[in-house]
Chain A
Amino acid sequence: MEITRHDIVIVGGGGAGLRAAIEAAENNPTASIALVSKVYPMRSHTVSAEGGAAAVAREDDNLELHGFDTVKGSDFLGDQDAIQYFVQEAPKELALLENWGCPFSRNEDGSVATRAFGGMTTKRTWYATDKIGFHMLHALFQQSMRYKNIVRYDEFFVSKLLVDGGVCRGVAALDIRTGEYEAIVGRAVILTTGGGGKIFPFTTNGTIKTGDGMALAYRAGVPLKDMEFVQYHPTGLPGTGILITEATRGEGGYLRNSKGERFLVDYDYGVGNKAELGPRDMISRAIVQEIEAGRGLSGPYGDYVHLDLTHLGADTINAKLPFVRELAKTYVGVDPVTDPIPIRPVVHYMMGGVDTDIHGATEMPGLYAAGETACVSINGANRLGSNSLTECLVFGAAAARHAMEFSQGSSNGSDAALLAQVEEEAGRVENLRGRKKGGEKISEIRRELNAVMESGYGVYRQQDTMQSGVGAVAQLRGRVADLRLEDDSKVFNTELITALELANMVEVAEALAVSAAHRKESRGAHTCRDFTTRDDENYLYHTMAYHDPAGPRLGKKDVVLGKWEPEERKY
């Protein structure tokens, strides 16, 4: 068994992980930083973000406005101290990203261009046509290569946090190439593994997004916060769930029902020409209502409405939304220059995640989290589009600074104790590999989990299906322990990795289900048919889910209010 020592171990190589690695490497050039990822960093799902990243840039904008938009978008569940820190750091972080080579689109005078986005009062979304995530990820990854003190572990799957004396001291990682375990030990660990959208069947998320970091922390005793809040992006392609960016509406696109009407005008989420620029939770609900009222269109992959860009013209589409055009042509056979794109709401983002403070620190000393994995929370009950990439940068950097500070004051754990934990984990996973005596195959359980999540935790929810979902997921957790695996090879055994991911998915799904069933109100993305209004008196708090062998235990955490008192959320 190999043991390697570092100052900081970062798990996950997407936007938040790479930003954290760069910050740590710059902050302390003599420190060794491990960047452990189950995929090569440029494959991370940050790559698929399209629309842009938010930060105040224009003369007519200010931090106060960005802050309030975010608080209001969160349906007042976001922590206002975190949001203020976020909006203040955002412009610096995006300027750094520009300095590192991200090819932002430009105004005529050469300054960085900004575009309109849902729920944002003015244009503050920095963009690179419609591939900001791709450009951001590649700029960060390429930038990270100049630091010789960043040691990459590409295609290593972390399946356990090493905890000794209540302090997180590293990870047990499976080298996917060799099938052998390694102890990657550090004085602090940062989780940046993204969300777990793959627990749902219809999602914009790539197949790698299985909630690994959330499950790692959760199993180690760290609570997951606000897991009931799942963002449905209004515009995904039917069938595949491929994301069609909100920038399509930011640039002036319309949503139309089967009668060809711009139905959002009637829902009053925006004013006049800004009808399409409401926040995502509201627009997704409007689409579902339109479909339920019989004004949707139907196809083999469910009912949908139209996203109409035809009036924008080929020049605007080619200049600002070329990737959308490519995606629509390739995956639904529609050219948006001439025809409307079929779209329906699709699971996109988890507002909830590992509970952290404003510095990215969790309850466990030595353990930090940032990005979608974490819940600081700036997103509350509903995230505004284009805040998440900036969040990866701001809190990735913050977590790295504080983890570095912590690591310099922390001692190493005992090698023997840590190695024993890795040996135990290796033994457990060894028993799983090629476990032919098991009962069910991965794809069966995953399909069932997907079905439960879709029926219980959609755009609209209700108590009975949420309650039955809780039971169903708990039962699936039991069945995951009896998987049947066919592949007994050590080298690049993707079936084994998928099995470990499935176990993570079920844990995350259970925390989500239990958290959702308990919140008897409608707030942000958590909209109940049987409790239709927001209930600040009883539910203005963060839901905390703690791992327990018998099923999640719930707790509460106060929302940090401040400058802005909760008020009715109208656009």
Chain B
Amino acid sequence: MSSTNTGEAIAPTQKTIIITRFDPDKDEVPRKQEYSVPCEDNWKVLDAVNFIKDELDATVSHRWSCRMAVCGSCGMMVNGEPKLTCKTSLKEYGDRVDIEPLANFPIVRDLVVELDGFMHKFEAVKPWIKRAKEKAEDKAALHDTKLTFSQSAEELGNFKQFSMCINCMLCYSACPVVANEPDFLGPAAIALGHRYNMDSRDEGNAERNEIFRGEGTVFSCSFANECSEVCPKNVDPAAAVNQAKFEAVIDWAKGLVLPSPSSGGSN
């Protein structure tokens, strides 16, 4: 069994943690600051940042919350790789650990990046179940659980994986297309749109496929697969994006031969 819970406590190891610092009121451009931190054996990278914040330098700003790899707040670059810092063991790294804000995002302060652009993309894929008529719309008639949809294991399996995204944005930091083409919708947002397209309860495919055929969306992806490599939740956004390419094309081809179906109204 691991020493993390049963064995003797191990003496801490001193490491140099290098943090990117940026305060728009004081710094023209981001700079680096080094801290010497006594790191415990079972620490995650986040523990070292928290130690700095609590004990060494309270001016360091970063985001974190759940510390169990599900809220998605604490993504940072660790030695050049996008990592969820609460899930990444510090002992995997050497004496010097370079912690930077997520690449490809504007930096608000220190390790805090700007989410506005991401949130905008996130909303652009209309991430909600779209129905011509809501099943539970008539609330007066809603009296029991028969108003739920039926879904087979296979139907659930078609989208479940893509619903596991915690919006940590590591994929945007890893994606070479995002780095070159800032307006690219990007892995997480496309995976989210695709998740709803693949959900048997949803009827919004036509509308989302139209979005996906637009500029800077699925066909901007060069299938580098970097997003899936760094995803801490095995969502495999590259699969979603490339499946979405297929679907968008098939949907377009169908539109050529079949009369166009109504897209189900707005929102």
Could you say which of B7, B58, B68 contacts A495, with CB atoms under 8 Å apart?
A: B58
- At the interface, yes or no: A551 with Cβ under 8 Å from chain B? no
- The distance in angstroms between the C-alpha atoms of A331 and B70, with both chains bound, is 13
CB contacts (< 8 Å) of A43 on chain B: these are: 63, 65-66, 71-73
Contact A443 B55 (CB under 8 A): yes
Size range of the interface on A? Answer: 35 or more
Chain B 138-151 interface mask (CB, 8 Å, partner A; 1/0): 01001111011111
Contact A206 B66 (CB under 8 A): yes
Chain B 24-45 interface mask (CB, 8 Å, partner A; 1/0): 1110000000000000001000
Give, as a whole number of angstroms, the nearest-CB distance from B13 to chain A: 16
User: Which of B127-135, B217-225, B246-254 touches A?
Assistant: B127-135
- The distance in angstroms between the C-alpha atoms of A177 and B107, with both chains bound, is 11
Given contact pairs A101-B202, A109-B150, A177-B108, A487 touches B68 in the complex (Cβ within 8 A): no
Contact A48 B167 (CB under 8 A): no
CB contacts (< 8 Å) of B95 on chain A: these are: none
- At the interface, yes or no: B119 with Cβ under 8 Å from chain A? yes
Chain A 84-104 interface mask (CB, 8 Å, partner B; 1/0): 000000011011101111011
> How many A-B pairs fall under 8 Å by CB?
196
- At the interface, yes or no: B179 with Cβ under 8 Å from chain A? no
Give, as a whole number of angstroms, the nearest-CB distance from A337 to chain B: 14
Q: Which of B1-25 contact A (CB under 8 A)?
A: 1-9, 23-25
- With CB as the reference atom, state the residue of chain B lying closest to A112: B148
- At the interface, yes or no: B59 with Cβ under 8 Å from chain A? yes
Given contact pairs A146-B267, A297-B6, A342-B6, A494 touches B150 in the complex (Cβ within 8 A): no
User: Which of B153-161, B236-244, B256-264 touches A?
Assistant: B153-161
Contact B42 A145 (CB under 8 A): no
Contact A333 B4 (CB under 8 A): yes
Could you say which of B108, B127, B151 contacts A142, with CB atoms under 8 Å apart?
A: B127
- With CB as the reference atom, state the residue of chain B lying closest to A135: B163
- The distance in angstroms between the C-alpha atoms of A333 and B89, with both chains bound, is 11
Give, as a whole number of angstroms, the nearest-CB distance from B160 to chain A: 6
Give, as a whole number of angstroms, the nearest-CB distance from B168 to chain A: 10
Given contact pairs A92-B142, A131-B70, A243-B68, A299 touches B159 in the complex (Cβ within 8 A): no
Give, as a whole number of angstroms, the nearest-CB distance from A503 to chain B: 16
Contact A92 B143 (CB under 8 A): yes
Give, as a whole number of angstroms, the nearest-CB distance from A56 to chain B: 8
Given contact pairs A40-B115, A92-B142, A491 touches B148 in the complex (Cβ within 8 A): no
- At the interface, yes or no: A39 with Cβ under 8 Å from chain B? yes
- At the interface, yes or no: A151 with Cβ under 8 Å from chain B? no
Q: Which of A35-55 contact B (CB under 8 A)?
A: 39-40, 42-45, 47-48, 55
Interface of A is mostly: loop
Contact B152 A95 (CB under 8 A): no
Given contact pairs A177-B108, A300-B8, A332 touches B65 in the complex (Cβ within 8 A): no
- The distance in angstroms between the C-alpha atoms of A424 and B59, with both chains bound, is 25
How many residues of B are counted as interface, with CB atoms below 8 angstroms from the partner's CB atoms? Answer: 75
CB contacts (< 8 Å) of B87 on chain A: these are: 330
- At the interface, yes or no: B211 with Cβ under 8 Å from chain A? no
- At the interface, yes or no: A316 with Cβ under 8 Å from chain B? no
- The distance in angstroms between the C-alpha atoms of A237 and B136, with both chains bound, is 40
- At the interface, yes or no: B54 with Cβ under 8 Å from chain A? yes
- At the interface, yes or no: B166 with Cβ under 8 Å from chain A? yes
- At the interface, yes or no: A408 with Cβ under 8 Å from chain B? no
Contact A490 B25 (CB under 8 A): yes
Contact B61 A493 (CB under 8 A): yes
- At the interface, yes or no: B121 with Cβ under 8 Å from chain A? no
> Which of the listed residues A99, A104, A143, A342 has the most CB atoms from chain B within 10 Å of its own CB?
A99
Contact B167 A42 (CB under 8 A): yes
Contact B129 A106 (CB under 8 A): no
- At the interface, yes or no: A289 with Cβ under 8 Å from chain B? no
Could you say which of A100, A134, A333 contacts B5, with CB atoms under 8 Å apart?
A: A333
Contact B58 A242 (CB under 8 A): no
Contact B150 A110 (CB under 8 A): yes
- At the interface, yes or no: A64 with Cβ under 8 Å from chain B? no
- The distance in angstroms between the C-alpha atoms of A135 and B70, with both chains bound, is 11
Contact A48 B71 (CB under 8 A): yes
- The distance in angstroms between the C-alpha atoms of A94 and B147, with both chains bound, is 10
- The distance in angstroms between the C-alpha atoms of A243 and B159, with both chains bound, is 26
Given contact pairs A99-B148, A103-B163, A142-B128, A489 touches B59 in the complex (Cβ within 8 A): yes
- The distance in angstroms between the C-alpha atoms of A219 and B108, with both chains bound, is 32
- With CB as the reference atom, state the residue of chain A lying closest to B89: A330
Given contact pairs A101-B201, A300-B9, A111 touches B159 in the complex (Cβ within 8 A): no
10 contacts across the A-B interface (CB closer than 8 A): A39-B65, A101-B196, A101-B202, A134-B70, A146-B267, A206-B65, A239-B4, A242-B68, A333-B1, A485-B58
Which residues of A are at the interface with B, using a C-beta cutoff of 8 A? 39-40, 42-45, 47-48, 55-57, 91-92, 94-96, 98-101, 103-106, 108-112, 131, 134-135, 138, 142-143, 145-146, 148, 154, 177, 206-208, 237-240, 242-243, 297, 299-301, 304, 323, 326-327, 330-334, 339, 342, 441-443, 485-487, 489-495
Closest 3 A-B residue pairs measured CB to CB?
A333-B2, A110-B150, A492-B109
Extra pairs beyond A95-B142, A331-B4, A442-B54 (4, CB < 8 Å) = A43-B72, A92-B139, A101-B129, A103-B199
Which residues of B are at the interface with A, using a C-beta cutoff of 8 A? 1-9, 23-26, 42, 53-55, 57-59, 61-73, 87, 108-110, 112, 115, 119, 122-123, 126-129, 134-136, 139, 142-145, 147-153, 155-156, 159-160, 163-164, 166-167, 192, 196, 199, 201-202, 267
